[in-house]
Amino acid sequence: MGRSLLSHFLNLSNACPRFTSYGTSSKLQRTLPMIHQNHLPLVGVNSNHRCYCSVSAPEPTVSESSSTSIKKRIVSGVQPTGSIHLGNYLGAIKNWVSLQDTYETLFFIVDLHAITLPYDVQQLSKATRDTAALYLACGVDTSKASVFVQSHVRAHVELMWLLSSATPIGWLNRMIQFKEKSRKAGDENVGVALLTYPVLMASDILLYQSDLVPVGEDQKQHLELTRELAERVNHLYGGRKWKKLGGRGGLIFKVPEPLIPPAGARVMSLTDGLSKMSKSATSDLSRINLLDSKDVIANKIKRCKTDSFPGLEFDNPDRPECNNLLSIYQIITNKTKEEVAQECQSMNWGTFKPVLTDALIDHLQPIQARYEEIMSDTGYLDQVLAEGASKAADIADVTVSNVYQAMGFLKRR
């Protein structure tokens, strides 16, 4: 159900504006943070997820902070494809939740990226809503961050087209993911969107004058293209050239910096400790989905791959599955590595698996409960997404207008 903005590209990746009331049930109002202010400070999927926030309009110069916040702005998003699993949550979403207290954050569901490969038309809308609800259920606070759907802010596509005119085709041909996916699918089954989606990703980021973008190792190439494209457009159309056309001059886009997430949240497959947990894996037994029932979680842990070594330990290269399961246990229990190592060193798998199962169920149960409450009140979710899109558009429209002006278009009257 989701890949982070810099996680389709964007794995990838990494909140919604404040409202005073949504007409939600009193139970839901107690559970979810409401929105009480008018300003907000985003990856990103963003892996096939992506990955990719305040929504106050940019100030006259790109280098200046928002008038309502001195926080740096972060953008990140996730694709509404497949199911959000433990790896997405621990590797990206959990980190995004912590970012909303420090940065101005924009989180969005990158549904436009979800159509670069064959997809289920009947499921796209539902998957988009499900992903948004899970964002909120995982702790994205709508009083601190904006949550919206990419296609609800049409400036994403407008800016992509403008950026496409300045993007050398050679830059896109060198993208590793395009080469890999097109080779697997075959030229006749690959649309142009698979080649050009990095330009859309650049639009997603540059549209909001983002300072930082959460990225993983597999996303660095895409962010580098975004940075190069920002610098290219600034050189071609910014500065005095823009000023001669009646603009303010200077930089058109901020050049975003990567925000490297904390180490230690790389969750591996339950069936292969050397492969990342992935929604694209054939077997559902390879992953824990955030909405898996207690019985499903217990069955997956019971059947997950282990080894025949005595005791349990971290960092033994001959025991990747052991390291993975201990790491999951450490993260979801908020214990230190030393505490887990001491607790589990004398355990066997028959003892440890029930302990891990209970910890997973206890950790995911509140998320599942909040998700069910959010989905039961469609008016609340619709309002969150509408407000998020409106706030995001306030920023995006300013950026697109500046680009149109700098590129010499006739202004609409």
Angle at alpha carbon of residue 95, lines to 92 and 100, rounded to 5°: 125
Task: Classify 264 in phi/psi space as left (phi over 0), alpha (psi -120 to 50) or beta.
Answer: left
- The DSSP-derived string for 325-379 is HHHHHHHHHT--HHHHHHHHTT--HHHHHHHHHHHHHHHHHHHHHHHHHHHH-HH
181 as an active site residue: the answer is yes
Residue 90 CA to residue 327 CA, distance in Å, equals: 11
Beta strand 257-259 with 212-214: parallel, antiparallel or unpaired?
parallel
Element spanning 186, H or E: none
Residue 145, helix vs strand vs coil:
strand
Hey, what amino acid is at 270?
A: L
Name the active-site residue from 181, 241, 305, 335.
181
Name the active-site residue from 71, 254, 279, 300.
279
Name the active-site residue from 94, 276, 353, 391.
276
Angle at alpha carbon of residue 270, lines to 337 and 328, rounded to 5°: 20
Catalytic residue ranges: 181, 276, 279
